[in-house]
């Protein structure tokens, strides 16, 4: 933000349930980075210590001193009180179900540096919108397809969060009385397109006698859940159930995005998140193709594109949030 | 806009296929108005002359001279080139299918006064958002239920039109492969909730032997189509088909609004338009009630309210557009 503060660097931290990704930006460029596994001890302090470790390791890679940090941004799952820097209900992050004052704690540990905290999906969309595939656009929708399906809106070049809860494209309804969603309702986009909902559906199909090699691949890759990589490998192997699951996922995303587009007339839609990034262009092109027949203005279809920053969107966006 | 120009008045014209409604605002208050039937000669010039007549009659009621007009706003159906003040494809307005330079013509006729032209639904939403039921809110969705279903978005206190086509809540998809819509696609909100689509559906049901007094009421009231008043009277008479049609209309609106809400987190939703205004509170409350189970954040449901300006929303909004 401050053009004269070229000597300062900004740290961006993408906190996830399995990993912590941190980057250092100097003059808007990534000059250092570090990724670590998220400590699974269940103690919030251990997770925060790991975040600080990644920041310090990233600084070392950037040949920057701790005193050069102008700001730290943190993207996190769960509910975020941005003003207080407090995170709660982040069930995937061990120790973060109860409220954690991650902002103030990180600030103090780094010599009272300013720390900004926001929702991981918003921050990821911000990253790719400002520094990645979304740079040419001022009005865009980010759709982050991972364990769930989250979203973020850029309107007139700024993140738009309504009263704090905007962007839930995963809970737009694409089929009345349709498949049960993790949110308790039915027929949401996420019920067809989120990794967790797809896994539940696959288990139900198996119980009914349908075959798939999804869970074999999961075990072989030593995963506890169907990860994006597991879906990608099963898809490459030609597993019929996986093909069907991914078809249904792209169908639901296409319908939800089409409805969002008819309402908002975006210039572009960026599809990211773990599954979006992993399945990449064929998946995104399939969404774009299925979206088009539902557009009110098909000749003015939005660009439907993947992320440019891939799994760095979140960390870069967190740094952008902090002025980097 | 100009606080010191208190001596000036602003005219707002709501151009429709059946009527032209004009108001004069002075110091943000309606001080004159006039409504006339839209000339059905098929000549655009006759329609424009009628618009000028309503402006002059409204000025007379406001005891204002033509030289006191600070600006004129016009809300019109069809495609609008706001910059050029040109309207086209307004099939409902006789003579307005081909492009009509309504802005420049009205400007010249009134001594080169500044004329602003925009879409009738956007202008209606602007009117009630700024001077009616929407005054307490900065982020709201207007849903105008009439022959079709249109919409308008206020974001951070300003009309948001995307690349010019935002607001088409009538073409959000609420049922995949559902009822055929006038736009050629299937399952849109408008296919269930627009007067024209409801009329087509009623005719199909009659062909299949179902009974209704909708068309008897239409003839008795000397209408060529099922107007909002016809639906209202049939509903009051307890006509089962009408009850069902209105239930389906509110169901589709509820689903579309819920999806829009989950995406945008609006503070309020204003339901207006001919049918919305005519059916009023019971209809709007039914939409709100059916919307709630589909909200991702039901405890933060938006206010779902009717218009305050009723059938003056459009004319007042047109005047607001022109700085009144």
pLDDT single digits (tens) B163-176: 989 999 999 999 99
B50 in the same domain as B88: yes
User: How many domains does one find in chain B?
Assistant: 2
A264 burial (CB, 10 Å; 0-12 / 13-18 / 19+) is buried
- Residues A255, A279: one domain? yes
Whether A143 and A118 map to the same domain: the answer is no
Same domain (yes/no): B103, B143: no
Which range of residues forms the domain containing residue B98?
Answer: 9-125+313-321
Residue B244 and residue B202 share a domain? yes
Instruction: Report strand pairing: A303-306 vs B303-306.
Output: unpaired
> Is A254 touching B (CB cutoff 8 A)?
no
* pLDDT tens per residue, range A218-245: 999 999 999 999 999 999 999 999 999 9
Q: Which residue of A has its CA nearest to B141?
A: A263
For residue A173, the chain B residue with the least C-alpha distance is: B259
Q: Say what the pLDDT of residue B99 is.
A: 96
**Whether residue A288 sits in one domain with residue A219:** yes
Contact A171 B262 (CB under 8 A): yes
Q: Which residue stretches of chain B are H helix? A: 44-61, 102-109, 120-131, 190-193, 195-207, 214-220, 228-236, 240-264, 273-291, 313-321
Structure tokens at B14: 């709501």
- Please tell me if residue A13 touches chain B, with a CB cutoff of 8 Å: no
Residues B160 and B279 reside in one and the same domain: yes
Contact (CB<8Å) B262/A172 = yes
Mutate which: A172, A175, A258, A290, vs B, most B CBs within 10 A: A172
H or E stretch covering B23: strand B19-26
CB proximity B163 to A under 8 Å: yes
**Pair (A288, A253) in one structural domain:** yes
Verify that B18 and B66 share a domain, yes or no: yes
- Under the banding of pLDDT at 50, 70 and 90, the label for residue A6 is low
- CA gap A242, A205 in Å, rounded: 11
Residue at A3 is within a domain: no
Q: How many secondary structure helices (H) and strands (E) does chain B include?
A: 10, 12
Q: Is residue A22 part of a domain?
A: yes
Q: Do residue A104 and residue A203 come from a single domain?
A: no
Per-residue pLDDT averaged across B238-253, rounded?
98
- What is the domain-level CATH number for residue B180? 3.30.420.40
Contact between chains at A139 and B162 (C-beta distance less than 8 A): yes
Quick one: tokens of A18? 């399995």
Return the structure tokens found at B303.
């206010």
Helices A228-236 and A240-264 sit at what angle, rounded to 10 degrees? Answer: 120
Is the predicted pLDDT of residue B260 greater than 90, yes or no? yes
Q: Is residue B212 part of a domain?
A: yes
Which chain A positions have a beta carbon within 8 Å of B162's beta carbon? Answer: 139, 264-267
Confirm or reject contact between A175 and chain B (CB < 8 A).
yes
Domain assignment present for residue B3? The answer is: no
Q: Which helix (H) or strand (E) holds A93?
A: none
Contact B259/A at CB under 8 A: yes
Tell me how far apart the alpha carbons of residues B245 and B240 are, in angstroms, rounded to a whole number. 9
Q: Are residues A82 and A119 in the same domain?
A: yes
Q: Are residues B99 and B159 in the same domain?
A: no
pTM score: 0.94
Structure ipTM: 0.94
Q: Is residue A130 part of a domain?
A: no
């Amino acid at each position: 933000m401050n053009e004269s503060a070229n000597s300062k660097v900004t740290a961006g931290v993408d906190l996830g349930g399995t990993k912590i990704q941190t980057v250092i930006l100097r003059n808007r460029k990534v000059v250092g980075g570090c990724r670590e596994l998220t400590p699974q001890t269940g103690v919030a302090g251990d997770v925060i210590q790991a975040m600080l470790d990644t920041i310090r390791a990233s600084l070392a890679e950037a040949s920057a001193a701790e005193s050069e940090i102008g700001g730290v941004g943190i993207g996190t799952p769960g509910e975020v009180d941005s003003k207080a820097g407090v995170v709660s209900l982040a069930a995937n992050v061990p120790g973060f179900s109860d409220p954690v004052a991650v902002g103030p704690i990180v600030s103090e540990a780094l010599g009272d540096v300013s720390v900004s905290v926001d929702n991981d999906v918003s921050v990821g969309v911000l990253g790719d919108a400002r520094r990645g595939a979304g740079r040419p656009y001022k009005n865009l929708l980010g759709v982050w397809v991972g364990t769930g399906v989250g979203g973020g809106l850029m309107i007139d070049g700024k993140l738009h969060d309504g009263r704090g809860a905007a962007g839930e494209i995963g809970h737009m309804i694409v089929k009345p009385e349709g498949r049960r969603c993790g949110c308790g309702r039915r027929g949401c986009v996420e019920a067809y397109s989120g990794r967790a909902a797809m896994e539940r559906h696959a288990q139900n199909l198996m119980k009914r006698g349908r075959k798939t090699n999804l869970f074999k691949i999961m075990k072989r890759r030593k995963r506890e859940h169907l990860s994006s990589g597991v879906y990608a490998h099963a898809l490459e192997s030609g597993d019929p159930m996986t093909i069907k699951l991914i078809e249904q996922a792209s169908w639901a995303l296409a319908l939800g995005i089409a409805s969002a587009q008819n309402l908002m007339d975006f210039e572009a839609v960026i599809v990211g998140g773990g599954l979006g990034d992993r399945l990449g262009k064929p998946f995104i092109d399939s969404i774009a193709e299925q979206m088009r027949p539902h557009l009110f203005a098909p000749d003015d279809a939005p660009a439907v594109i993947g992320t440019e920053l891939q799994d760095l969107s979140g960390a870069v966006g967190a740094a952008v949030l902090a002025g980097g």
